[in-house]
Amino acid sequence: MLEIKNLHAHVEGNDILRGIDLTVKPGEIHAIMGPNGSGKSTLSYVLAGKEDYEITEGSITYNGKDMLDLGADERAAAGMFLAFQYPIEIPGVATMTFLKTALNAQRRARGQEDLPTPEFMKLVKEKAKDLNVSPEMLRRPLNVGFSGGEKKRAEILQMALLEPSLCILDETDSGLDIDALRIVSEGVNKLRDPNRAMIVITHYQRLLNHIVPDHVHVLSRGKIVKSGGKELALELEENGYADFIDEEAA
């Protein structure tokens, strides 16, 4: 469903992604690990359509469609969702208005009718309850004053509501306390589906105990230097990245 080929991305004179190849099939969960600054968030931004990066080579194809021609909103409507590493606060935008606008924009892009407001309200309440997002948080402007962990839960709430076919989670576990990690993981697992794929970026095995990946990749200096099964994450937890990075440098 997602095919990334020889992807190179460039920003302000730096090559950040230097030839990424990755194929993700429906139902699969791929974990991406790698040292700080290796390009994990950049990859997630480039997938989601952030315009700061220049794609110098390669392609991103999603469900047969070339994504590089599409804007971020069109990619979202095509089913991609990025849960941000650092969700931003938007004062003056009411959370509920935002959620409704986003949901209906995607429905319209797919030729569906707007969801009637009462049904929308019911849906949000239901999903919010699952993720322990309080009604009080929903009354605030988007992400404003949310704690780090609350922001992450709010991201997963958006994901649950929008029901994307490809979920990209960028360090969703960082900043979560132990209970929140469990709640969020349950939320994510609830979305596991034979037709839905996930790319989970994380530094810790801990998250992968809850969300068990089919494949684990190590990203280093803009390239995937190692791929393996879920046992690779355990190995990394044990020994760190040194082995792979040295391998690459050599």
Partner 1 sequence: MNAEARVKETQAEASLIEQFSKLAKDQGGLAAETREKAFADFRSAGLPHRRVEEWHYTDLRAKMREAYAPAEGGRTPEVLPAPVDDGPVLRLFIVDGQYRADLGSSAMPEGVTVSSPREVEVKDSLFPSKDAVIDLNTAFCQGGVVVTVAPGTELTEAIEIVHLVTQPETASYSRNRIEIGAQASVLVIERFEGAASDAAYQTNAASEISVGDKARVNIIKLQDEAKAAQHLDSVSIKVGAEADVHHFTLNAGGDLSRTQMFVEFLGEEAKLGCRGISILGSKQHSDVTLFVDHAVPNCESRELYKSVIDEKARCVFQGKIVVRPDAQKTDGQMMVQSLLLSEEAEVNAKPELEIFADDVQCAHGSTTGDIDEDLLFYLRARGIPEADARKMLILAFLAEAVEETENDRVIALLESKVRALLGAEEYAE
Ligand X SMILES: Nc1ncnc2c1ncn2[C@@H]1O[C@H](COP(=O)(O)OP(=O)(O)OP(=O)(O)O)[C@@H](O)[C@H]1O
Neighbours of 109 (CB within 10 A): 13
CB-CB contact of 89 with 142 (8 Å): yes
In sequence order, the 6+-apart residues with CB closer than 8 A to the CB of 187 are: 130, 131, 153, 156, 157, 160
Pick the closer one to ligand X by CB: 15 or 130. Answer: 15
Query: Per CB under 6 A, does 220 bind ligand X?
Result: no
Query: Per CB under 6 A, does 48 bind ligand X?
Result: no
Query: Per CB under 8 A, does 228 bind partner 1?
Result: no
In sequence order, the 6+-apart residues with CB closer than 8 A to the CB of 160 are: 127, 130, 131, 187, 190, 191
DSSP alpha helix (H) spans, 49-147:
72-77, 95-109, 117-130, 135-139
Could you give the angle at the alpha carbon of 25 between the alpha carbons of 24 and 26, nearest 5°?
Answer: 125
Strand 14-24, strand 166-170: pairing: unpaired
Q: Which residue has the tokens 């994504």?
A: 67
Decide which of Mg ion, partner 1, ligand X, none touches 172; Cβ closer than 5 to 8 Å per partner kind. Answer: none
Applying CB under 6 A, what is the total number of residues that bind ligand X?
Answer: 14
Query: Per CB under 8 A, does 191 bind partner 1?
Result: no
Task: Tell me the per-residue interface mask from 179 to 218 with Mg ion, x by CB under 5 A, - otherwise.
Answer: ----------------------------------------
Task: Tell me the per-residue interface mask from 82 to 101 with partner 1, x by CB under 8 A, - otherwise.
Answer: x-x--xx-xxxxx-xxx--x
Pick the closer one to ligand X by CB: 100 or 215. Answer: 215
Q: Three-class SS of residue 116? A: coil
Query: Per CB under 6 A, does 60 bind ligand X?
Result: no
Residue 126, CB half-sphere, CA atoms under 13 Å: how many?
8
Query: Per CB under 6 A, does 51 bind ligand X?
Result: no
Binding test (CB under 5 A) with Mg ion, winner from 38, 41, 106, 220: 41
Task: Tell me the per-residue interface mask from 5 to 44 with ligand X, x by CB under 6 A, - otherwise.
Answer: ------xx-x-x-----------------x-xxxxxxx--
Query: Per CB under 8 A, does 72 bind partner 1?
Result: yes
Task: Tell me the per-residue interface mask from 141 to 160 with Mg ion, x by CB under 5 A, - otherwise.
Answer: --------------------
Q: Which residue has the tokens 């997938």?
A: 47
Q: Among positive and negative, which fits the CA dihedral 71, 106, 26, 223? A: positive
CB-CB contact of 78 with 67 (8 Å): yes
Footprint of ligand X (CB under 6 A)? 11-12, 14, 16, 34, 36-42, 52, 85
Footprint of Mg ion (CB under 5 A)? 40-41, 85
Footprint of partner 1 (CB under 8 A)? 48-52, 71-73, 75-77, 81-82, 84, 87-88, 90-94, 96-98, 101-103, 105-106, 109, 141, 158, 162
